[in-house]
Copies of this chain bind each other. A is one copy, B any other.
Amino acid sequence: MVRLRAHSGCERRTGVDETVAGQARAPVRGAGPRGVEAAGPKGTVTERAIEQIKAMIAEGRLEPGERLPTERDLAARLGISRSSMREAIRALTVLGVLEARHGSGIYVTQLEAGDLLETFGVVADLSRGPQLVELLEVRRILESTATALAAARITEGELAEVEKHLAAMNATDDPEEILSHDLAFHRAIVAAAGNETMAAILEGLSSRTFRARVWRGYQEEGAFARTRREHAAIHRALVAHDPEAARAAAAAHVGEVEEWLRTQLRG
């Protein structure tokens, strides 16, 4: 035990400046014991900044597509450092609320379903175990309803798009390509349902990595044939414009995977 500390009255830090003029930063902020100052008593300054920007948008002081002031401006305006402001902006960027264009400025996104629900994919990618089953259950509910809606509304052009991917899926043996067209098949159907918000949620629930994780094992068990039959059933219902048949077919389709995953977790 060397024991080389203590020696009271030491200078700890300090004594290192003198390179630059002493930082006259005595009365920075928080000098008072959090008295009647202006700053809200909430959490970190960054969190406060996030809330304030969100509030600006919610209150309509910032319209979708509109450009925000500079990072430097914003920071000065809220009385925080640019670093903290950047953290706030980054946070809102990953949430799909803001969009930063290097050299140009920061803009509010269109706040459409696709923008805001992109993060939904993260949930699907990081969930595991029983949570995956719950996620599939949600997908079953939404996708079956969406498919039913699509059966009632789908146009000739949209149906052609669906059939294109259905044919492509049946014409190849490359798992990668099958997965791609499988995704596109369902995406085309959901798009025909006419609810972009639902489509965006389902997009997240069917994200590439999510499906790759679950379907890998599923299809290795020779489920290709069954998948094909189920897709055909969904397609028939769409052609017949039969919502209830479409709902049942879609629910069964997702339900199959769901049930398989459930047994996997038990074993």
Q: Interface residues, chain A, CB within 8 Å of chain B? A: 19-21, 46, 50, 54, 57-58, 83, 86-88, 90-91, 93-95, 97, 111-113, 116-117, 119-120, 122-123, 125-128, 131, 134-135, 137-138, 141-142, 145, 195-198, 201, 209
Contact = CB atoms under 8 A, between A and B. Distances in A.
A204 to B, nearest CB: 11
A35 B196 CA distance: 42
Contacts of A113: 123, 131, 134
Contacts of A201: 138
A111 to B, nearest CB: 5
Nearest to A125: B58
A112 B58 CA distance: 28
A117 B134 CA distance: 13
Given A91-B90, A97-B126, A142 B134 contact: no
A111 B128 contact: yes
A75 to B, nearest CB: 14
Given A134-B197, A142-B142, A145-B141, A90 B46 contact: yes
Contact of A116 (B57, B83, B91, B123): B123
B131 A119 contact: no
Nearest to A142: B141
B198 A57 contact: no
B50 A94 contact: yes
Given A94-B94, A138-B197, 7 more contacts: A20-B20, A46-B90, A95-B119, A111-B128, A120-B120, A134-B198, A137-B197
Among A46, A58, A122, A197, the one with the most B-chain Cβ atoms within 10 Å of its Cβ is: A197
Contacts of A54: 122, 125-126
A71 to B, nearest CB: 12
A122 B94 CA distance: 12
A260 to B, nearest CB: 18
A198 B126 contact: no
7 A-B pairs with the lowest CB-CB distances in the bound complex, closest first: A134-B197, A91-B94, A87-B90, A116-B123, A134-B195, A141-B145, A90-B91
B20 A134 contact: no
